[in-house]
Structure 1
Amino acid sequence: MLPGPVEHPLVIGHRGAPGYRPEHTEAAYRLAFALGADAVEPDLVATRDGVLVLRHENEISGTTDVASRAEFASRRTTREIDGRALTGWFTEDFTWAELSTLRATERLGGIRPQSATFDGRYPVIRFRDLLRLLDAATEESRRNIRLVAEFKHATYFASLGLPLDELFAAELAAAGWSRGDDRLISEAFEPTLLDRLRDAGIGGTRVLLLEDRGAPWDLVAADGAAARTYDAFATASGLAGLAGVVDGVSVGKARLVGGPASSTDVAGAARRVRPDAPLRGSALVDAAHAAGLVVYTWTLRPENRFLAPPFRRGAARSAWGDWLGEFTRILRTGVDGVFLDHPDLGIEARRALAEA
């Protein structure tokens, strides 16, 4: 492992650098490394033969050319994923040999036509491919580049006999990562998956992802309507209760900026709220830190389509608004890591805040 200080907050390349290249491709990850990302984040799903591949979802019609491939037309089907019926093509219906013939496409082509010009140029890659790229980039850059592995639909995959945690442990070992170390951050929307990683002795930081609404699907599957909600985890007592269970939480940026300010005003100053109310803004970050938890947030993007209303400029959804204003507002809450589609913009925001 290479020496050196850890930057704060971490600038995490969300699926590589998908603001510039189609997400989860080798090109997107290589560009994230070149732009100075402190870490990169792959989404992990499984193939029918138990290979972990990098895709936003297991339904892949929006991120590959599968819909145009006549040889796979019969694979189009409808499945229930985490309580929702989805129609398309699913990784679990393909072997790795079959998936490896597909080519990536830009998921947000209407917003990012420049990235869409790279459609069809890059293949789908595996988790093991990214580990190889990450090790090489760490050696070449002489800095520790971290990995933030996100597990998608773990309960669903386990029901198919494809336990993501076990596949993950095997991939780490095969790549020489043993059972993980401080380069590794594991995150999931399902707390029981994080429990299994802990019980398996997987090292690094374990982070619970908190959606803006709803409840974790593993808890819904076990407890039905009584399942604990994401909002319940985001209260002062909920965050305190996570101490010693996980190492951190990761929240959608609407909990920090751009959503209902139930616990903070626009400047981030704490207001008096009910003890059981979900926290927002710096109040959430402060409560998490008081419980010994790190806090990450996702996803920072410069286009008007994704910015909170006060930071939008003009009417075009694809135009860049006051991204620096929103990004620095979020950094001022004290978060420990930010996920971005354009890692260089995160580094610029971090620099601007330090110089302010």
Structure 2
Amino acid sequence: MRHPHEGEPLSVGFVLLRRFTMMPFAAFVDCLRLAADEGDRSRQLRCHWVFMTSGGHDAMSSCGAAITPCSPFRDPGEFDYIVVIGGVQDEHDAVDEAALAYLKRVDEAGVPLVGVCTGVFALIQAGLMNGRRCCVSWYHHGDLTQRFPDIEPVADRLFIDDGDRLTCAGGIASADLAAYLVERHLGKAWAMKSLHIMLIDEARQGSHPQPQPVIFDKVADRLVRRAIDIIEQHLGQTISVDELARRIGTSRRNIERKFREELGVGPQKFARDLRLRYGLWLLHYTAKSVTEIGERCGFADTAHFSRHFRDAFGTTPTAMRKSAGEGAAPVDPFFLHVGSRSQVTS
């Protein structure tokens, strides 16, 4: 890794692949932009960046916006990092062989590679992730596992720093990774300056868990929606009904009545079932042990978790993990979606 000398900017080259996703790209480069100069003046003083594509043509994003100007691929030695921003995954798309060849050159030059969002797919296709873990969004976990069964995907954290390989789940987590690199090279004050202007309270570490797909709609009652929000935010602990009622400003009797009217179950059973569904998701999408998953889902011990899991799903967590490993259909990323009273009670 090339460490900038005093007064020398942190230099980042972006490889923008076809139909790249705008959010992770914008979050990453804006963190650099805000750290590069005083205020919001955008001069490339402390940070320097270049956008690159095969042949130097404009880069078309998945939302239809184009990035210009872009440069042809440059000497990797100009950069401290090469950041690969991936895009929409379509098996019918032609592989960008020129981009893959360039990534191999970057590796040979000893410059760290950063795979953001599906940019990690390109690193894998270039043969640069063998024997390494790679961070991926839970949304792309199944696709990566199916296409690259020899690669270990990690979908329960924001990013992984493996020295000369850094991989990031994408989305707004790109800002966290960019701030992590800015802090490493320029200091914490510059990283925090960027995040605060972006209205991000604090930098999240790479080990911070990804938000899980816990989605509810068609819940009409305002108090029930507020209670569900609180339950979702505390899946790792048991919140008593009395405490839940206090937080939303009502009585225990009222919130229990409203839950039964809206969802067909009381708040205590709803919360426990939700924690079990979260455990089911973790069994499919992470390598955490059954004991770790039980603890993360707020159960007192493994036996307690396993007993309730069997009651809910008809099998043990260990058996569920085994069937998932043997190619059973993965959990739908939106399996926690609840749209009606019948869905909750089924």
Is the TM value for this pair above 0.5?
Answer: no
Structure (1/2) with the larger strand percentage? 1
Structure (1/2) with the larger helix percentage? 2
Higher RCO (CA 8 Å, separation ≥ 6 residues) = 1
TM-score, normalised to structure 1, is 0.29
TM-score, normalised to structure 2, is 0.29
